Amino acid sequence: MATVTYDQATRIYPGADKPSVDRLNLDIADGEFLVLVGPSGSGKSTALRMLAGLEETNEGRILIGDRDVTKASPKDRDIAMVFQNYALYPHMTVRENIGFALKIAGMDKAEINRRVEEAAKTLDLTQYLDRKPKALSGGQRQRVAMGRAIVREPQVFLMDEPLSNLDAKLRVQTRTQIANLQRRMGVTTIYVTHDQTEALTMGDRIAVLNFGVLQQVGTPRELYEHPNNVFVAGFIGSPAMNLSTFDVDAASRTARAGQAAIPLSDEVLARITPEDNGQVILGFRPEALELVDASAEHTIPVEVDFVEELGSDSFIYGHLAGGGWRSEGREEGDAGEIVLRTPPLSGAREGDVIHARIKDGGLHAFSKATGTRI
């Protein structure tokens, strides 16, 4: 087992004008399960491949334990990687598939059998050892791919979207198994996904990448409750945080967008700079909103587009009544939607205008100029 350190690690692909991983600094503790998330093209796979030695590190260093492995060949790094498109050998049994790398390495047959059988037991594959991959379910095949990594008893596991070709139900099941297995084995693990639910449920800590730049690293709770910038605020959480640009009205100490008025604290007001041009980006999660009477002061009037009743609670999807919402931080396809989570049967119906207020502690404020939390 070992720690992993990225120290200003940078990867610039030949011919590229910008780094795909840009001065990455990240310390991963011994035995930690770190989840690396970010949108497509943000550099997640590149960062993993740099650690595995499959991609050159152009600047900076990578350490495993105390050892600088920046220039070490992949086979000298003691890392096992599970890819999204793991290919099992179709003509080999599960036992042969799991033990193949050990056989190639010239390991003693008895030792191979011992390791394969132990891995199979861990992965609940003992009864399938003599089957061929085509006679296995998707989840079982995925576990065989894990088995190949486990038997190598590496210092570090790297997993690059290992669940992406499983169906939704199997994903949920398998991600629990992987998280449990990792905790039991205690091997330092970096797990890549672009599924933020996976990130929130599996990792000890999450590192968020965007355009090759590390945005924030912290526990799932820290990222959810205290996002450092607009990108992380919009990326972590589903449905996403409601985020819009507001105009600051210093006289009334409120932020305004269309007919919405949100009171600002002294702290937020004091941190707005001339570069922000009288604007601020405000965010509030769906569960941070509560319905209030139309006559209440400082509300967000929302015209309801549709209501989703989930039994335990309901989501109201709408938009700012009268317009004026300026979305921030969301990915494509955002039509200025505002989402509220309320107790079930709120009575709101399509076309209604309801009034929402942000609960205490539910407001996140970000600089318009820099996007960082204020």
Ligand X SMILES: Nc1ncnc2c1ncn2[C@@H]1O[C@H](COP(=O)(O)OP(=O)(O)OP(=O)(O)O)[C@@H](O)[C@H]1O
What is the nearest approach in angstroms of ligand X to the Cβ of residue 196?
A: 12
40 contact choice in ligand X, Mg ion, none (CB below 5 to 8 Å, kind-dependent): ligand X
What is the nearest approach in angstroms of ligand X to the Cβ of residue 19?
A: 9
**Pick 45 or 342: Cβ nearer Mg ion:** 45
Task: Give the whole-angstrom CA distance, residue 244 versus residue 195.
Answer: 23
5 contact choice in Mg ion, ligand X, none (CB below 5 to 8 Å, kind-dependent): none
**Pick 45 or 210: Cβ nearer Mg ion:** 45
Residues of this chain, 24-63, that bind Mg ion according to CB under 5 A? 45
Residues of this chain, 37-56, that bind ligand X according to CB under 6 A? 38, 40-46
Binding mask 184-203 for ligand X (x = CB under 6 A): ----------x---------
285 contact choice in Mg ion, ligand X, none (CB below 5 to 8 Å, kind-dependent): none
Contact residues for 25 (Cβ-Cβ < 8 A; gap 6+): 6, 7, 8, 9, 214
**Pick 46 or 346: Cβ nearer ligand X:** 46
Find the helix or strand (DSSP H, E) in which 109 lies: helix 109-122
**Pick 32 or 161: Cβ nearer Mg ion:** 161
What is the nearest approach in angstroms of Mg ion to the Cβ of residue 159?
A: 11
Sequence-separated contacts (24+) of 49-53 with Cβ below 8 Å: 50/6, 50/9, 50/11, 50/21, 51/4, 51/6, 51/77, 51/79, 51/156, 51/158, 51/190, 52/77, 52/79, 52/81, 52/158, 53/77, 53/79
Total binding residues toward ligand X, as defined by CB under 6 A: 12
**Pick 160 or 328: Cβ nearer ligand X:** 160
Angle at which helices 168-185 and 109-122 pack, to 10 degrees?
Answer: 120
Applying CB under 6 A, which residues contact ligand X? 13, 16, 20, 38, 40-46, 194
Applying CB under 5 A, which residues contact Mg ion? 45
